[in-house]
Amino acid sequence: MKRLGTTVCAATTVVFMLFGALDASAQAFPVKPVRMVVPFVAGGATDVIARLLAQGLNERWGQSVLVENRSGAGGSIGSEIVSKSNPDGYTLLFASGSVLSANQHMYKKMSHDPGRDLTGISLVASGPQVIAVGPASKFTTLMDLVNAVRTSPGKFTYGSAGVGSQVHLAAESFEYFARMDSVHVPYKGEVVAITDLIGGQIDWAAPNLGASINFIRDRKLRALAVTGPKRSPALPDVPTVSEAGITGFENLGWFGVAVASATPRDIINRIADDIAKVTAGSTFRERVAGLGMEGVGNRPDEFNKYIREEIARWGKIIRERKITAQ
């Protein structure tokens, strides 16, 4: 009986030591540089917001947060890298909503499942896209564009940052809701698509407001409507899609941080805590507000619930629009 009591006591001590070690590990995190994988090229909205967050985390942690652009396959290359990384919190994915909630519906031969192999840490920022045309476009209102496309299906073109990108899905969602049929022209990055939109090589696009707002302010792009439920404080004179004539439509672009799904919960919570502190700070909020977006910084459970809802929503649209990437 004495030996059993000694054994139980020893086992209990081991358990407490184990949990104590895990807690200490989270408190000490990070003890070396952290890698933040951005699955798109530099210069787009995802990259810009990732670098703002990385700067804030760098200041909080006293460790370098190294942004690494690994683009390709609609963000799937970058998300695969993170899904197969060591699950210790030192390799983060900073991704748009399309990477975490839509790619699994479009890529039939993915070597990983974002919904299974990745887990969300925090929703960092969200904001609308903008339905935009070039400065020389004949379209001055949203309904000018909609009516022209409805009258001549397949005649007009829209550009995106690539098949399956957030701006591609925003445009497809808008076309689905507005009963339009334009020809999709995918580019290797949002900035390249915007450049051709300015030059008149494509007729319209639905870029993230964060990537297009400076061009709009400089009158190099004409904003016809924003896709959010209300007008953007960054562009108060631009109507929402509903106000402009397509009642009920709204779509928000969003950006968040995820890690390999086996990452310890205490590490995930530590990172989420620090992301929340960065996104609540005046520097981050002012910078993202200038891009027409809003800082969020929610908890892992809330973020993963939102991801599941988005997976279901985009699955329906992708099936009905027959969007494929292969």
Mapped onto helix, strand or coil, the DSSP state of residue 145 is helix
pLDDT score for 13: 52
Mean pLDDT, the chain, rounded, equals: 92
pLDDT score for 35: 99
For the record, the structure tokens of 321 come out as: 């629009």
pLDDT score for 70: 96
The pTM score is 0.84
What is the arithmetic mean of pLDDT over 179-197? 95
Percent of the chain with pLDDT over 90: 79
Closest to 253 measured CA to CA, from 198, 300, 291? 291
User: Residues 291, 214, 142, 182: is their CA dihedral positive or negative?
Assistant: negative
DSSP state of 151: H
Percent of the chain with pLDDT over 70: 92
The runs of H, that is alpha helices, within the chain are 2-28, 45-61, 76-83, 97-101, 103-106, 114-117, 142-151, 166-178, 190-199, 209-217, 241-244, 265-280, 282-290, 300-321
Cβ atoms of 132 and 244 within 8 Å: the answer is: no
Q: What's the order of all strands across the beta sheet hosting 118-128?
A: 65-69, 34-38, 91-96, 252-260, 118-128, 294-295
pLDDT score for 23: 55
For 112-123, how does the pLDDT look when each residue is reduced to its tens digit (9 = 90+)? 999 999 999 999
Residue 213 reports pLDDT greater than 80: yes
Residue 91 reports pLDDT greater than 50: yes
pLDDT score for 324: 85
Residue 19 reports pLDDT greater than 80: no
Radius of gyration of the chain (CA): 22
Residue 132 reports pLDDT greater than 90: yes
Tell me which of 12-16, 78-82, 95-99 is least confident: 12-16
pLDDT score for 163: 87
